[in-house]
């Protein structure tokens, strides 16, 4: 990958981060604040029925955010692959949110484990 191509990919990644932040703020913060009523599922269902367009738009925008996140993970993989292939695979798995689970321990004496639920499962212990 040449310098111009890497710079272009970095700019696209920056745009994707901004889109992801704005879309996530709308679909994951603003809309639930308007529609969800804590401990009252009937009122929440009424709000969703009354604001069906808002609910559907938030779902569509959340899908846009998910597509941006996956694309961003792929771009970061391409940009960082020349540095370290194995660390880039871990970054790609963790950044995209596709099937990973981290289980840090709160006890300093307990071993720290990171589980990646993929075909190439990796365990890191302290």
Residue pLDDT, tens place only, 39-92: 999 999 999 999 999 999 999 999 999 999 999 988 988 888 888 777 666 665
Phi, psi (rounded to 5 degrees) for 64: -60, -45
Residue 4 has pLDDT above 80, yes or no: yes
Each domain of the chain, given as residue ranges in start order, spans 3-83, 85-126
Full-prediction pTM beyond 0.95?
no
- The Cα 33–Cα 35 span in angstroms is 6
Do 13 and 74 meet the contact criterion of CB atoms below 8 Å apart? Answer: no
Residue 110 has pLDDT above 50, yes or no: no
């Amino acid at each position: 990958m040449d310098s111009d191509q890497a710079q272009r990919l970095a700019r696209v990644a920056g745009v994707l981060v901004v889109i992801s932040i704005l879309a996530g703020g709308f679909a994951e913060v603003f809309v639930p604040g308007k529609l969800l009523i804590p401990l009252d599922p009937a009122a929440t269902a009424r709000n969703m029925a009354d604001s069906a367009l808002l609910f559907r738009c938030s779902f569509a925008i959340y899908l846009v955010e998910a597509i941006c996140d996956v694309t961003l993970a792929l771009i970061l993989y391409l940009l960082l692959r020349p540095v370290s292939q194995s660390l880039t695979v871990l970054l790609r798995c963790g950044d995209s949110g596709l099937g990973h689970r981290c289980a840090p321990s709160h006890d300093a004496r307990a071993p720290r484990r990171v589980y990646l639920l993929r075909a190439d499962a990796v365990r890191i212990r302290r």
